[in-house]
Amino acid sequence: MVRQSAQKLENGSSQTWEPRTHKAAASDDHLTVRTRTGRFTGLLNPDFPSVREFRSIPYAQPPVASRRWLPPAPLADSDETHYATNYPPSCAQYVSGNPSVFGSIVPEFYIWDGNENSTAGLMAQASSEDCLQLAIWAPTNATNLPVIVFFTGGAFKTGGINIPYQLPPSWVSRTQSHIVVTTNYRVNIMGFPNAAGLDNQNLGILDQRAALEWVHENIHNFGGDPEAITLWGQSAGSISTDFHTYAWHDDLIARATISQSGTALKPLDNYDHDHTNFTFVAKHMGCDFPTNPAAELDCMRQVSVNRIQNFVGQYTDNGTTPKLTFTPIADEEIVFSDYPARAAKGLIANTPAIMSNCANEAAALYTFPTNNVTAGPWQPGVNAATLEGWLCVSANTSIVRYNANRTTYRYQFAGNFSNVSPMHWLGAYHSSDLTMNFGTYPIVRGNGTLLEKKTSEAMQDYLLAFMRDPENGLERMGWPAFEPFGENGGVIKRFGADGRPEQNVTGLEVQGACWGKEQYDPFP
């Protein structure tokens, strides 16, 4: 996702969206960290000086030239020193020219992209093929701390490290008790090409795994505990996180997962097992070799990434048919076609999970009247889309995990705060809970309310307790594991509703509508 250049903050804070660079002093030994793949010198966050930032650390070889559309390759051992004080480009992605909630109303969920308009209709100028990097935020004095590795969302089409609402220094500064890692991974046609000439199609998921392996190998040098890693994702990153629990069920690396808005049970939208989408694009790039997959691929590797991105993006923006889809596809190795069956066989990681949704999830994804934005979309349609596409997927996933004897905790974010939801009809829309997790809710449109602050702190405290002790941490804080067949459908934690930062509510109240037992309330 992409956003336009920064504006002066309404709350007067010195924190900005521009990626500011501060060269570390040579005497700041704690800012230079040695890893197997090199020495990296970071910086102290200018607004939160108790937080070290290492903004750009490569975790795999650049996937360019002959390595385009190949799985991530490990980096060689190195003792070379690099300055990790600037954010890397996000992975190659397109900035849609069509109006949307994220492009037109809350662009803070898009990658920071200089002066490019958030509805540019072009490849993002701050994106690149050479993007397989991660960023680390750690307290200045970190020793053996739990680590959370974050996969950003973006419908497997957009996303990246430098997203204003998803930068964690304020959270790390507040707790001084955990380390956050965010990683880039390839998206859209560069990450999920589905080309006949390739053996591996779900490259973006393999990128995520490569980043996780790098973190496990090197995070101890940053003050993290490699045996206390939590894997966390939102939207496409959330679905990815759940993918990992099946693909690497016997070697997850992480000891717990958090899936915010999306699970592996969300239906795939890519069934192009004949590879027609890639061949269609190749033909329009002058690589017309429909019966010679190797020649098609070799030719496509010589086409500029900008040309490929702009063709696919503009074709999609125009609503042209046949529809082009470059997202995960079932290969029965990394992504599977029947997750309940695999879970029933025990082919799912035996690790605790938090799974969540936002109360008005689909409001950010549903068509709204651009000539009367304040009116908002048709709420019954939003409710139906929230249930079908998001909440009921989580509900069914909870049952699958329960039947497989896997511990699951559930929450619903229901906060409707005007600085995050500037249109009241947005409510607790898709992605809005991230501002609570990261503590970034005050960076635009004012500082917010006391309830908002307390809600954010409560959510952060629960996540930290889970990171520290996935088995018992939440139970000790009064958040029981979810039992879908328990009294009134089990217990779900609700955040930001009824003037209360947090409360326990019944599963029946939250998701009874999935089975026709309750009227769904998107504004509880």
Nearest one of 231, 15, 53 to 134, comparing CA atoms = 53
Integer Cα distance of 261 and 328 in angstroms: 17
> H helices within 358-495, ranges in order?
379-386, 392-403, 434-438, 450-468, 473-476
Beta bridge partners of residue 506, listed in sequence order: 491
CA 266 to CA 112: how far, in whole Å?
28
Residue 40, beta-bridge partner list: 33, 82
Separation of alpha carbons 183 and 521, rounded Å:
35
HSE-up of 407 (CA within 13 Å, CB side)? 17
Residues 6+ apart with CB under 8 A from 315: 324
Paired with 148 in beta bridges are 180, 230
Tokens at residue 109, please? 């969920």
Q: Which residues are catalytic?
A: 235, 361, 430
306 exposed, middle or buried (CB, 10 Å; 0-12, 13-18, 19+)? middle
What angle, 0 to 180 degrees and rounded to 10, lies between the N-to-C axes of helices 203-218 and 236-247? Answer: 70
Residue 35: φ, ψ to 5°: -125, 175
Contact 484, 507 (CB under 8 A): yes
Identity at 139, one-letter amino acid code: P
Give me the residues paired with residue 492 across strands: 505
CB of 170 closer than 8 Å to CB of 48: yes
DSSP state of 193: -
Tokens of 408: 């699951």
Nearest CA-CA partner of 264 in 238, 293, 228, 300: 238
In three-state secondary structure terms, 308 is helix
Question: Whole-angstrom Cα distance, residue 181 to residue 55?
Answer: 10
Q: Which residues contact 435 (CB under 8 A, 6 or more apart)?
A: 165, 420, 441, 456
Both structure tokens of 367:
């068509």
CA distance 264 to 283: 32
Identify the DSSP state of 261.
S
Burial of 136 (0-12, 13-18, 19+ CB in 10 A): buried
SS3 of 400, please?
helix
Cβ(362)–Cβ(356) below 8 Å: no
